[in-house]
Structure 1
Amino acid sequence: MPNIREVADHAGVSVATVSRTLQQPQRVSPKTRQRVMEAVAATGYKPNLMAVKFRSGKSHNIVVLVPTVANVFFARVISGMQEAAAEQGYAILLANTMGRSDIEDDYTKMVQTAQADGLIQLRAHNPFDVSMTNANGLLPMVNACEVLDNIPCPTVTLDNRAAARVMTEHLLSLGHTRIALIKGPQGSPLTRERLAGYRDALSEANIQYDESLLFPGDFTLRSGFDAATSILKAAQRPTAVFCENDETAIGAMQRFKQAGLSIPDDISVAGFDDIDFAAYADPPLTTISQPAEEFGRTAVSQLIDVLNGKTRRAPKIIIPFDLVVRRSTGPVPVTQQQHALKEKAE
């Protein structure tokens, strides 16, 4: 059976370099790492992973708590995490928690019992108590996407308030003044922040905030379909609908088209996230683009820095966004515009 010395000779490096590559790949240059891994493959060397973990004191496992793996945006975030973790010699242990604290607690115990080194939480909930903080006062955790305030760990988020304001301003620029909002899950900080951005834009445009234009949702296709059904029954139908995520928007568009409405000729629809399906919706969806994979990669990088003692504070990383204008939004329909002008004159 080949040993580590043979790997070192094959790669032209020291035994210490081979050991470091297998235990702490982030401390080895990409070129050297590639040579060592090629030598491992060529010699057929099988490292004793249990011994490696015992010597390093690390499992090289990261637990990821995701509220639902059915969400397309979260799936892209996880993809970015897996890539970044593999590059650093870590494995991802994925927990589909369904937002339940008891499931989160079970997986959190893996960190407390050294079966995993740390975790990434994708919803606004801290599963640890203060006893888990390190010498720098930080938890072995990163909170990403739906983040808590004042938590002793790095957070990775988007300025959801600013992004929602930008989308609402886009609809206002097209002449829409009756803009419905299909919200996300009740209690989610994303829902709260995106509602705040919507209200900011209306206030800046001197348009009165109208709670009758708010409709409940939960980031699913079905909730968008159901909210659109309620919108169709409104005595005075809004001319535009801003949905707090793309899946909701696609569900709403399906219901509007089922009712015989043309998008955007009869009603404009906008989303949030820019999932892959958004560009291929009928019509292609206007949305807020946030780089999901970057969320995942940044979260992993921040967690590994915490685990290696490189982070001495709890940074808040804001991921950038872009407004992506496609064909699902357009000017206010002429007939409705005339009706609004008539009402104003009266």
Structure 2
Amino acid sequence: MPNIKQVSQYAGVSTATVSRTLKNPEVVSPKTREKVLNAVKAVGYRPNWLAASVKSGRSNSIVVLVPNLVNPFFMRIVEGIEKTAQEYGYSVLLGDTQGNAELEHQYASMVLSNRADGLIQLDHSYPFSELDAELGADIAMVSVCERIKGDHGFPCIELDNHGACRALTHHLINYGHRSFGVIAGQIDSQIHRDRLAGIKSVLDEEGIIFTDQMLVGSSYSIENGIKGARELMELEQPPTAIVCFNDDIAIGAIHALKSMGKRVPEDVSVVGFDNIPVTPYMDPPLTTVDQPALEMGRRAMDMLHQMMSDKPLSRRRELLPFRLLERASSGPVPQ
């Protein structure tokens, strides 16, 4: 069986450097790290993390809570987490919670029972039960995408959602749109508040009044997009532009509009959020906001590793930039 000495000989470094690279890759240079990891693959070395965890009292694993594993946006974040976790020598357990509080509690309790060393939450809920809430306050946990509800103070990685929705709204305003509809996702989350505030701020600047009728929807699903688009088009003054709070909603909205004989974007412009892989190939290709999902996952794992290593964080909140991708689902207001 290949051992650490063979790795060191292949890489041309000391066994101590190999061990340091595998346990704390951030303390060695990128060149050394690449050399050691290539040697590990070449000789087929597998570190005995189980033995190490017995000695250290650590499991060398983390839990990632995902509200919906089918969602391709979440899976890109998970990919970033897993790649970085492997570099640090951690395995990743995915908990597909489907927004179920009891499932969240079960997965989160693994950290309290030392079956995992840290936790990454992709939803906005506090994942510990009332019984475990006090203990949960002291564990290594990072939220990504969403900010955890309540004053818990956990670090987070998130997008500039306010700025992104300002950019989407400006994009539609520049095409002459003055009548808007919004199909939202989870309405009790910080993301919802930030995105809606971004839209409202631009409309206010343009002298466009936002009414309650312009806002529909309550989940990040295709079905919500279908239902929401139909509700909006039944208004006395239906919108000429619809902002969807994720791409699945936009897919449903476009489907519903076409079933009603509406053309996109000639009759109604539709924009989404996330830039999931299918969006460039839709009919029409979807105008959307691209989130750096892989980078969000990487940074979340970097931050979690710092916490698990008892290292101070330079910042507890990272706000990542967005890209507005203008495609064919948005266009001039109909004359």
Cα distance per residue 1:290-333 (max 9 Å; x no partner): 11111111101111111112225761100101222111111111
Aligned to 1:88: 88
For residues 299 and 313 of structure 2, the distance between their equivalents in structure 1, rounded to whole angstroms, comes to 17
Call closer, same or farther: CA 1:48–1:285 in 2, change over 3 Å.
closer
Deviates most, 178-187 or 44-53: 44-53
- 8 Å CA contact 1:144–1:155 kept in 2: the answer is yes
Cα distance per residue 1:225-251 (max 9 Å; x no partner): 121222332332211111111111111
For residues 268 and 259 of structure 1, the distance between their equivalents in structure 2, rounded to whole angstroms, comes to 14
AA aligned opposite 2:19: S
Deviates most, 204-213 or 307-316: 307-316
For residues 167 and 110 of structure 1, the distance between their equivalents in structure 2, rounded to whole angstroms, comes to 40
For residues 170 and 38 of structure 2, the distance between their equivalents in structure 1, rounded to whole angstroms, comes to 54
Deviates most, 178-187 or 141-150: 141-150
For residues 280 and 255 of structure 2, the distance between their equivalents in structure 1, rounded to whole angstroms, comes to 15
Call closer, same or farther: CA 1:307–1:262 in 2, change over 3 Å.
same
- Which secondary structure state, in structure 1, belongs to the residue aligned with residue 18 of structure 2? helix
Deviates most, 30-39 or 121-130: 30-39
Aligned to 2:296: 295
Aligned to 2:117: 117
Matched, 1:20 2:20: yes
The offset of 1:23, in angstroms, is 3.2
Matched, 1:310 2:295: no
For residues 174 and 300 of structure 1, the distance between their equivalents in structure 2, rounded to whole angstroms, comes to 40
TM-score, normalising length: structure 1 = 0.87
The offset of 1:28, in angstroms, is 3.6
- 8 Å CA contact 1:156–1:295 kept in 2: the answer is yes
For residues 43 and 75 of structure 2, the distance between their equivalents in structure 1, rounded to whole angstroms, comes to 36
Aligned to 2:251: 250
For residues 229 and 210 of structure 2, the distance between their equivalents in structure 1, rounded to whole angstroms, comes to 20
For residues 2 and 204 of structure 1, the distance between their equivalents in structure 2, rounded to whole angstroms, comes to 66
- Which secondary structure state, in structure 2, belongs to the residue aligned with residue 180 of structure 1? strand
Matched, 1:162 2:140: no
AA aligned opposite 2:334: P
What pairs with 1:54-69 in structure 2 (closer than 5 Å)? 54-69=54-69
Aligned to 1:237: 238
- 8 Å CA contact 2:59–2:114 kept in 1: the answer is yes
- 8 Å CA contact 2:112–2:135 kept in 1: the answer is no
TM-score, normalising length: structure 2 = 0.90
AA aligned opposite 2:201: D
Task: Give structure 2 stretches of 5+ with no counterpart.
Answer: none
For residues 290 and 312 of structure 2, the distance between their equivalents in structure 1, rounded to whole angstroms, comes to 29
- Report the structure number with the largest CA radius of gyration: 1
- Which secondary structure state, in structure 1, belongs to the residue aligned with residue 278 of structure 2? helix
The number of equivalent residue pairs is 330
Aligned to 1:262: 263
Call closer, same or farther: CA 1:263–1:35 in 2, change over 3 Å.
closer
The offset of 1:211, in angstroms, is 1.5
What pairs with 1:76-225 in structure 2 (closer than 5 Å)? 76-128=76-128, 129-132=133-136, 139-148=139-148, 150-225=151-226
- 8 Å CA contact 1:23–1:56 kept in 2: the answer is no
AA aligned opposite 1:125: S
- Which secondary structure state, in structure 2, belongs to the residue aligned with residue 230 of structure 1? helix
The offset of 1:11, in angstroms, is 4.1
The offset of 1:266, in angstroms, is 0.9
- 8 Å CA contact 2:22–2:87 kept in 1: the answer is no
- 8 Å CA contact 2:271–2:286 kept in 1: the answer is yes
AA aligned opposite 1:302: M
Identity of aligned residues (%): 43
- 8 Å CA contact 1:266–1:333 kept in 2: the answer is yes
For residues 294 and 44 of structure 1, the distance between their equivalents in structure 2, rounded to whole angstroms, comes to 28
Aligned to 1:286: 287
For residues 81 and 2 of structure 2, the distance between their equivalents in structure 1, rounded to whole angstroms, comes to 33
Call closer, same or farther: CA 1:178–1:9 in 2, change over 3 Å.
closer
CA RMSD of the aligned region, Å?
Answer: 2.2
For residues 43 and 288 of structure 1, the distance between their equivalents in structure 2, rounded to whole angstroms, comes to 43
